[in-house]
Chains A and B, each alone.
Chain A
Amino acid sequence: MPESLVPPEAFEMIGKVVGTQSGVVFEKEAQRFAAAVGDLNPVYFDDEAAKAQGYRGIVAPPMFLPQVTQGVTRVDNLTTDGLAAGGNRRDVPLNVHRVMAGGEEIEFREPIYPGDTITSETKVVSIEEKEGRSGSFVIVTRASECTNQDGTVVGIITTKSITR
């Protein structure tokens, strides 16, 4: 019987908060994101257009939500592939070497506006060990609840990481 990739203590992380991050929505950052996507929807750029469509004012693109609470990458601390060193998630102790993105789901509850402070609290939802063609792998599912400064949940980001 080969050693499991999931040591018993990993399962103790299920349901626990493994990270909290916060950030402020900046109008120009949200607009740079929209422009880089090629998404010139006037609700991201024009206050009147946004109000006419039922928003309080200029709104950030929904897909910008995960960016708001991202950390700041230091260029003096990168791996050879250009990613932040230590960026691989180590919040769950697993006997694995490689981490790959396995999919993402975002539920949008409320719009996010420039000036909002967003806090995301990440919990481990599940840890599943599976057998694949090239050996066993582990799928870790994490959910981040994003709230604004009023305590309103604006979105929930669920990500799966595949590790082997």
Chain B
Amino acid sequence: MADQPYFEDFAVGDNIPEVTERCNEAQLFFFSAATNNGHRIHYDLPFAKEEGHETILVHGPLQAALMGKTLTDWAGPEGRLVKIGIQNRASAYPHEDLFFGAKVVGKREEGGRRFLDLETFERKSDGRVIMPGTATVSLPSRR
């Protein structure tokens, strides 16, 4: 987090560094608690199986927040997350690697601020994208 990326360092087509996350049951419990979410699919294994899942599920909003963390960690102390959009397409489970990343699809300057538009993804180790999205991040300039 000490490194500060700058607007000029990136071109359309560049990727931001990919981050690997792995959730466990305790984390899912704490996220349910922190978000006042009683949905049994996140903690009740027999119920999750009854619903057709192999195990309990990682919350959609937790995956979105992990995407947010990936972006704010990367944007550094002077960067700001301006916009994030996500679609949860498939389930994610505890103890599996989840990969978060983004590609620069646009660069613009508006009102004295500099923005990168990103296409974001969360994918599994088989390459399947389970949460596609978009984001906008403002970065400082070297000038």
**Contact surface of A with B, Cβ cutoff 8 Å:** 29, 32-33, 35-39, 41, 52-54, 61-63, 66-67, 70, 72-73, 75, 78, 80-84, 101-108, 158
What 0/1 pattern do residues 28 to 41 of B give for CB contact below 8 A with A?
Answer: 00110111101111
Nearest chain-B residue to A83 (Cβ)? B39
Q: Is the CB of B78 within 8 A of A63?
A: no
Across-interface contacts of B41 in A (CB, < 8 A):
81
Smallest CB separation, A52 vs chain B (Å): 7
For the A-B complex, the count of residue pairs with Cβ-Cβ distances under 8 Å equals 105
Q: Is the CB of B85 within 8 A of A36?
A: no
Bin the interface of chain B by size: 35 or more
Across-interface contacts of A78 in B (CB, < 8 A):
38
Across-interface contacts of B78 in A (CB, < 8 A):
53-54
Across-interface contacts of A158 in B (CB, < 8 A):
85
Across-interface contacts of B62 in A (CB, < 8 A):
36-37
- In the complex, chain B residues 70-84 whose Cβ is within 8 Å of any chain A Cβ: 72-73, 77-78, 80-84
What 0/1 pattern do residues 20 to 59 of B give for CB contact below 8 A with A?
Answer: 0100000100110111101111001001000100000000
Distance of A63 Cα from B38 Cα, bound (Å): 19
